[in-house]
Every structure is written in structure tokens, then in C-alpha cells.
Structure 1
């Protein structure tokens, strides 16, 4: 059976009205869905992307990552080096995929149709959507908990979600409403909000950071023992997997309005520096706090442990900044999820796709906060495991990018047998096969244990790679290697 014909291009004007030297003008809700942006409408510049990634990573939620580094025995200097390599390096990958967005003017997973075929691309797209919805559910739940805790400090109400259900629902709905208000409007609104949020909430963050610095025992921090090289290498991978890798398949979503005159290295630098600078600051400070206070390292929730050390009025600001930081990341994620939903085949306008996504995450968050017991561990395990197929996608996609410099804009929307990206049965088998094999190989090094008992242990889990959680890296390298060997690194006639 033939797939349904592709949706037609929107004839409504796009919201983005830019001038390279004058910034962004907001006029209406962005009407463009996944259809490629015409070249004459691409006027973006790398500084816009710098602010996007800076604001998305400015949150003090980077502090627990730093605490985790000292918890495995690293010194503060090692933690800083790990933060630099993991953060800048992983977001450089996001920047590389941004180049594809500039070349093709379309979202990442839409461009991925050219790599995997219009049917083969369904697998990577579904994984990307599950990952986005999963982390959005975690963001919404965590923000609601911050809201409930903030109310408990101000008004003396209960700080537990189930014991304050009305406040919990209000916190979820407030967070979701703020998310939709930005992500629903679209690309141009996100650019403006991210830029100004960086300045406003960056200043508030600096206040919190300065206060935390005054509470650090520097003699203990500076004399903390060092870990061996294997621990440092593992930590770099952990930071990379927890930061930029999760955003890799959204890189082109934000870069599709970039001017064709922008150089690729500028896009890589804007993502790497935009996210790397705030992440390094937050992770480094978290490592200092952890090295200074053993109770923070021992706590199952370092964020709450840090808050407990603060005076009530500072703790309120701390929680407010946490809420906003989650919001700045979430509306970017929801925007990408909306585009991914359309790419998967849901026939709705982009703004309605955003609403569909937030309905799912709102429902999931309320169930998690008010109904489920012990759901958080298994849920986090599930969406963390999705880093493996995402990394495999990154490996295959980057190999294809190395030899592909343009995309057929009509072909990206053509889901019929006559389309240029139909390949064989709608699947480009060397790419899709490499993706599947990479996931299977990585699974050999994995252990799935959301609770006390392991659900699955791969036969190679007891190796250094398995014990140190590097299965996601294996999947990326294997996917890239197999695809290259199967012809992915050669220029073919089927390329646009």
C-alpha cells in the first residue's frame, strides 16, 4: 500500500522576519511546519543560536552534574576539565548537525528522511519523539515540585506533591502555559525570549552563585584527592551524554533559518560556546559544593540538599530560578517535539502539534506526581536508554552529512514511490541497517536496572565500556563505521 501523499506547503507567511544586522521582528504565530525554509527567507546569524543554547543551559540544575563528578573521587581541577570537554564537545556535535539545518532549511528529523528513506526514518523519528516527551515530562514534574516547595517556604503549605494536590496541579498548569506561550508562537519568539532571559535570569543566577561561593570550604576543595585517568574519561562521556547528546537531533530545528552565508564553523562555535559556557560554570560550582560539603554528595537529591543549606529567602530565589531554568529548556524541547510529531506523520499544523505534545506531558506529569509510587527511577532509566539509538542516529547522520551538501526540498515532503528519498520500499537499507546493528551491539554493553533488581544485563556489561556507561558512544561509533563501510561515505546519484 502506498503511503499517503505528503502535506502541501503552507501558503501562509512565516513569522520570522529578520535582518542580519537588526535582529528579529515578531509579527504572528509561526505558520511554517516542517517544509524547508526558502533561501530568500533565511536571514539568521550565529549569535541568535548562541543565545538559544545559552539560555537553555543557564539553569542551576547543572549543579548536580558537578556534584556527581566529585562523588566518584575527582578533584576540582579534574571536574573543571571534564566539564569543559563534555559540555563543549557534545554541543559541538549539536553545532555540526546545525549545519545540515542551514543547508536544507528543514528540521533535523525531516532532513533525516534523505538519509534513512521516508519509511526508514520512522524509527529514528519515533525514538526522538519519545525522548523529547520523556524529558519534557521530567521537566514539568520537577518544575511543579519546585513550585510546591517554594509555596511551602512562603505560605507554610505542605512541600509534598501528594499532600498539596491543588498546588501541584497549579504548578504543572503554570509551567505548561508558559511553555506553550513561547513554543507555540514559534522560532522567532524563542529567539527573543532566549536572548533576554539570558541577561535577566543570568544576573539572578550570578547572585545565587555568588551566595553559594561564600559557603564553600576552600581548604577542603583545593586539597581534594584526584581520580585516575579511567574515571576522568568515563566522566567526560557521562557529561556529554547528559548534556549535548540529548539535544543532538534538535540541532537543525533551530538552524533552519540561518543565512546561507554563515560559515559552518560559526554554527559549531555558537552551539558549543552557547551551551558550554553556562554548563562549565554550573558544573564547576556544583563540584566545588560537593567537595566542600559531604552531606550534599551523600544526598540522593543534591538539588534539595543544596537548597536545605540556604536561608529561606535565598532558597525561594533558588527555586524560582530552577523553575525558570527548566522552562527555558522545556519550550525549546517542545518546539522540536512539535516538528518531530509532524515528521512522524501526524497531520496537524505546528502549533497544534505543540499542544498535542504538552497534553501528553501534562497528563504524564500529573500521573507521576499524584498517583504513581516509585515511578521516577524506571522512567528516567527508560528515557536515558534512548541515548543509545539517538547516538546511533547521530553517527549515521554525520557520515551522510560529510558527503551531502544539499537536500531536495520537495523530495523531503514527498512520501510517495516517486520521491527521491523512497530508495527501496521507502527505506535506505545501508543507513537503517547500520542504525539497527549499532543499537544491538551497544545493547551487549548495557545493564537495565531501574530498581534493586536488574531487568537485563548484556554479556559484555562487565567490560570497562559497560561498567562505565559508554554504550551510547559504542552505538554512535558502530553506526557511523558500518554506514561508511556500506557506502554511506561515498557520493551517490541518489543524493540531492
Structure 2
């Protein structure tokens, strides 16, 4: 393959049929590799750090991964059908310009995840190259930006490589960990506590739901004939298996190590494996796993920025120079946040995850209800780029439902800096994400079904009626 064929040319424009390639199985390797990584380990560890036991933390994390993963995989199944990035399709619900409202928060999410990933990957890169953490963070950010600029093909290659390398690393680390811990004692100390159980569910559900705004970006090059069901199941299985594997490892590490893991997450995990070449391999595996997901975050961030700005500028495509500029902006912002917050990572990351969930669950609910129940997978794709078209510039009914969905969660929210008034009667349990899915889903369905005149009889891919061939 020539170099010019490797570098992606598409951005927010629809992918033509003659550029489609791959199979639904590619979603399994990508999301397995993206989730077998150190930040997922830390996320699982948080369930124990904040008071949960091993058994119910693992069960809660599994439930959250399956529930949140199912929502995320429903978004993934939209990619082959429409051939569009995820957030462009949101214009059908919010309007060509109205989609900028959730997009602003999506961009914040990408910068935050880029930063949190860079902190841990920077530590691994620094130890692998015998430099300091700041140098490691900056070097890792530059590599991430280059991979994101190349685009779709290299992202899937990274996923395949990371799924193998990181799986080998986690198998080895799991064996070493089980040699050190008294598993029967940890499993025997089970004591169900509803708030802690729901915290575990919320942590993993938020982890999965946060992929929703960009998951279709990585399935949109699949042939249009690709089964939506196959795309759903391969995405769900890759993401749920990878994240549950990492999070279960995190639970066992946190339950058995105490303060040692909290003081130095990367160093402690690598220390389980040994020294010398083995330690180097583990540092490399940590950096590779984080590279995979950080490239997704950078790529998704640039897509979201282009989607938001192009709604006002009328852009339908983007030059290579424009791609590079947007990616550089995400990289610089994420690196700055990483360098500023690297010393207070653990508590900040938990609050970041749960707070972001407040803004993404209503978006997911509205998007999925519209796609599967209201529009029934039928969109006028050219109209998604025209504020004077059938979707309009602003769809105030969807924006109102989105706002209600966000506000409805606040009484149930539990974070370090804010706790809602209805959390205490529930024993401190955070069920805000359940409210954030249910309330806007029901409201949007009730409002949107009253007027479906903007929905085409079949999906339109070009200005001429009917699908392009």
C-alpha cells in the first residue's frame, strides 16, 4: 500500500462505497486493544479504593460494562449504514448548528481522556526511555498526534497489535498477581453494600458510555452491507471483555496492595512482573495500550471540533493541513492538562468520569431513540450539512430534552465536588446515569413521534433521491 493511500483523506464527509473495506470483526480487535490498558485498571481499582469489596466490585463492574457497552455498541452499528462520523449524525436530532451544544462537552471529554491517558503513559514512556515524567508525557503526546493524523487504517492496525501484545502482558501479570495474593481470603470477604455496588456499576458504565460519541467513527468504513447485528456484537464483546479483564485486574491489585498501588500505579503494576527485559516489555505494553486509546481520543476530538465549526461555516470536507491543525490543537490542550494535573490524578479521574457521564447519557438516549425508533435508520445525509434543509439549524425540542436530561440527573449525582440531595436517601449511591438514560429517552420519544415529516422514506446518500451505487 502506497503511503498516500495509508494517510486518510476523509473527515466529516460520507465514506463512498468504493472506499469501504474490512469486516465487523475489526471492531472486536480495536475495542479489545483499546480497553486492555492501564487507565481501565485504575478505573476498576477505584471501586475498591473508595470502599467496595472484591466480589461485588467485580460483579458491579461487569454489569456496568455490559449495560454501558450495549449502548455504546448500538452507536457503533450506525457506522456502516451511514458512513458518517458519530457526531455529524447528531445533527439529525439537534439541528446542523444545534449539535454544537453536546459537541462542546464531547471535545472537553476528549481533552480530559487524552490528559489522563498521557499521565500514565508518560510515566511508562519515561521509565522505558530513562527520562522524567514530563518528557515522557510530551513524547507520548507527539507520537499520538502523528498516528491520529495518519488516521483510520493505522488506528485499526494499532488495535490489532495492542490486542495481542496487551493480552499477553495481562495474562502474565495476572499469573504473577495470583502468586502473590490470597484469592480465597479476598473472595471470602464479600459484603454487599448498595452504594459501593452502584459506584462500581457507574464507573464501568461511564467508561463504556464515554465511547458513544465516537464509536461509529471507527466502523464507518465498513461496507454498507455489513450486518448491524454483527457490528453490535463484535463491538460489545471486544469492549466488554477488554475492559472487564483490565478492571478485574485493577480490583485485585487495589485489594491486595493498599497504598503501594495508589502511590505509583504504573510502577506497581510493572513491579509485579519483574525487572530487566520483562519490565521493559511491560512498560512498552502500557504505553502501547494507552497509545491506542489516546489516538482514538485525539481523532475523535478533531472530528468533533470540525463537526461543530463546520455547522456554522458550511464545510463538507477538510484539507490535510486542516486535519493536522485540529489534531495539534487537541494534542496541545490535552498535554497541558496532563502536565498540570499529573500529581492529583486518581481522585480527579473518578470525578471526571462520573461528571462527564451526566452530559453524555442524555445525548446517547436521544441519538439512539431517534435512530432506531423515530427515524428507523432513515436519514437524508446531504441535509445534515445544510442548515436550511429538512433538519434545520437548531432543533429546539431535542435541545430542550437534552437540557432536562442533564438537570434530571443532578439530584442523584455523587462526586467529590458536588453531591445531589437525593443521593443521601439512597445511601450515597449514584444512579444519575440511569435517570440520564431513561428520562430523555422517554421525553424525546413522546415529542419526536408527533411530527415525523422531516424523515425521508429511505436513507439518501446523495442529492439525488435513493442510495448511491
- 8 Å CA contact 2:138, 2:335 repeated in 1: no
Query: Which among 401, 425, 445 is matched to residue 484 of structure 1?
Result: 445
Query: Which among 264, 272, 276 is matched to residue 236 of structure 2?
Result: 272
Change (3 A) 1:437 1:207: same
Query: Which among 188, 200, 221 is matched to residue 186 of structure 2?
Result: 221
Deviation at 1:231, TM superposition (A): 3.8
Change (3 A) 1:469 1:75: closer
- 1:356 maps to 326
- 1:471 maps to 432
- 1:292 maps to 256
CA distance in 1, matches of 2:55, 2:354: 28
Structure 1 gaps of 5+ residues are: 1-14, 18-24, 162-167
Deviation at 1:52, TM superposition (A): 1.1
CA distance in 2, matches of 1:280, 1:376: 19
Give runs of aligned pairs for residues 87-166 of structure 1, distance below 5 A. Answer: 87-150=65-128, 161=133
Which stretch of the first structure deviates more once superposed, 43-52 or 394-403? 43-52
Give runs of aligned pairs for residues 40-79 of structure 1, distance below 5 A. Answer: 40-71=18-49, 74=52, 76-79=54-57
- 1:7 maps to none
Q: Secondary structure at the match of 2:97?
A: coil
- 1:251 maps to 215
Deviation at 1:238, TM superposition (A): 2.3
CA deviations 1:59-112 (Å, max 9, x no partner) are 143333333334466554434433332223322211101222222211111000
- 1:342 maps to 306
- 8 Å CA contact 1:101, 1:108 repeated in 2: yes
Q: Secondary structure at the match of 1:249?
A: coil
Query: Which among 144, 159, 168 is matched to residue 194 of structure 1?
Result: 159
Change (3 A) 1:305 1:198: closer
Deviation at 1:478, TM superposition (A): 1.5
CA distance in 1, matches of 2:331, 2:179: 38
Deviation at 1:330, TM superposition (A): 0.6
- 2:404 maps to 437
CA RMSD of aligned residues (A): 3.1
CA distance in 2, matches of 1:434, 1:332: 29
Q: Secondary structure at the match of 2:255?
A: helix
TM-score calculated relative to the size of structure 1 = 0.81
**Is 1:396 the equivalent of 2:356?**
no
CA distance in 2, matches of 1:384, 1:371: 17
- 8 Å CA contact 1:143, 1:326 repeated in 2: yes
Change (3 A) 1:278 1:462: same
- 2:463 maps to none
CA deviations 1:400-434 (Å, max 9, x no partner) are 0123212212111223x2x1211xxx221221110
Q: How many pairs were matched up?
A: 447
TM-score calculated relative to the size of structure 2 = 0.85
Change (3 A) 1:306 1:372: closer
